[in-house]
Amino acid sequence: MSDIFAMDGYEADLAVGFSKLNYRLLDEDAAPVSPQSYPEVVVEEHISETTLDGLETHIFKKTTLFGEPIHGSVFPSVKKDRNYVESEPTSDSDTVADLLPRSIPILTRRQSSASRFSSSYEVELHDSFVSASLNRRHLVKHYRPKLTDFETIKVLGQGSYGKVLLVREKSTGRLFAQKQLQKASLVINESNEIHEKNYQRTLNEKTILEKVNHPNIVKLFYAFQDNNKVYLILEYLDGGEVFHHLAQQRYLSEKDASFYIAQIILALRYLHLNLKVIYRDLKPENCMLNSYGHLVLTDFGLSKVSTDESDRKHSMIGTAQYMAPEVIKGESYDFSVDWWSLGCVAYDMLTGGPPFTGHTNEKIMDKIVHSKKFLKFPFYLSLDAKDFLRKLLQPNPQKRFDIDNDFEKLKQHRFFRYLDWEMLVDETNYEDIIPPILPVITDPVLAENFDEEFTNMPFTPPQSSLLCTDSDVLHVKGFTYTNESFLASVYAAKS
């Protein structure tokens, strides 16, 4: 401001200029007075102050020999406010700009009737004040969510251990998916002994998700617990399941399927290479769409961190139709089991069903173990699609397509000939890419893209429950979590 409205050297010019001004009386009925009837005008004081609006003002007080002040001329900073208007010079009187060698931009403020001639204010601060930015950092660091902070709206899904609910955070109005797990599932018997595997899986999901930062993997915002349950507050994927949309057209074209298969590949490679996580539960129900139509992986309850290259012995776990042969046979396995599961999901997208089916899990598993005998492809699949599926559904893990290490080779496969891999990999272009399926969302609260079997399901409103303490038998140590970067963005948006 000082560069635009510099006042150095203007005091003397103003003194001379004001002596030549042709002043008019405010009373229009009074006779005009000649300049000679006024005594010499001098500048007595230059005041610089900052008003409550945060605008710096320069005020010049002018007095006459009769001791009556002429109203101060105010020159605000260059930043214009909507309460300021430029003064318009009249044609029948001289202005300061006409009399001085350099022009001064003059702004006048509309004065309120309560304080017409005032140029400064005094405000009493009765309460202590802390900067909003300091308060924000304190809140982000110490905020601990609880069940009563969220309003339950609908049921989105249900599993063996608990439900997934659509909830609204009361303080912000934001929608989340609340995954809740019964602590009773962690108890192995009446003696309150902890089921180590269930306990570890519960903790693993939270531990993995708090490290994740990928657009194709669900985000975790909060984790907390009470006496009865543990809660994960997750990203609400209002596009619903991919296969909810597939039900309307039975299966996807190879062009459309290649897009979603590519997004699954990007998510799995991130888990394998960055977090050393074996997903182990890739299936259609865990492939969701966000509001833009992009695929996002959810449910990490069966995932496992495999940090040691020599540690290849893992449990037989997963969903039967999508389990790899080595898992079923109880053999050691590694990240390649996820690529077998990808082959099953890709087959499902292209044909409308998994490659191995049966009335019981035993029959399904038998077909998977003897996949060379039972794997069949429908006639309408292209040679490129069949070749890609065969490479993934290879029963020998040593011969299976190793996408983690052969990613460049994968990108050259003709099945992905419609894709621009460079644009898909670049996360900055994420929202600019138009996916094959654009979910219809008239109101996110309605959960229109979820099965009515769940959304119409009754639920018990949450009741205030005591927070779990360290001394409780079922206290899950290290479970509480707050996504501080998310909270910081929320408070920044409010300020």
Cα–Cα distance, 343 to 35 (Å, whole number): 97
The whole-chain average pLDDT of the chain stands at 76
CA-to-CA distance for 414 and 171, rounded, in angstroms? Answer: 50
Reported as a single tens digit per residue, the pLDDT across 182-200 is 877 666 555 556 667 777 7
Confidence band of 308 (pLDDT split at 50, 70, 90): low
Q: Provide the pLDDT for residue 20.
A: 55
At residue 301 the predicted structure's pLDDT band, cuts being 50, 70 and 90, is confident
**462/7: higher pLDDT:** 462
The architecture that CATH gives domain 131-238+444-495 is: 2-Layer Sandwich (3.30)
**Residue 303 binned pLDDT confidence (cut-offs 50, 70, 90):** very high
Q: What is the pLDDT of residue 71?
A: 46
What architecture is domain 241-440?
Answer: Orthogonal Bundle (1.10)
Tell me what the mean pLDDT of segment 134-138 comes to. Answer: 44
Which residues face 154 on adjacent strands? Answer: 166
Lookup result for tokens 């609006």: 53
Amino acid identity of residue 342, one-letter, is: L
Q: Which of 45, 115, 98 is nearest to 73 (CA)?
A: 45
Task: Give the three-class secondary structure for 424.
Answer: helix
Q: What pLDDT is stored for residue 183 in this prediction?
A: 79
The mean per-residue pLDDT over the stretch 246-260 comes to 91
Higher pLDDT: 382 or 73? It is 382
Exposure on the CB side of residue 263, measured as CA atoms within 13 A: 25
DSSP 237-301: -TTEEHHHHHTTTSS--HHHHHHHHHHHHHHHHHHHHHS-EE-----GGGEEE-TTS-EEE---T
More confidently predicted of 128 and 9: 9
281 is known as an active-site residue: yes
- Domain edges within the chain: 10-109, 131-238+444-495, 241-440
* pLDDT (tens digit per residue) in 335-357: 999 999 999 999 999 999 999 99
Q: How far apart are CA 128 and CA 135, in angstroms?
A: 13
Q: pTM surpassing 0.85? A: no
Give pLDDT, residue 125: 37
List 149, 281, 299, 338, catalytic entry = 281
Determine the average pLDDT of the residues in 435-446.
94
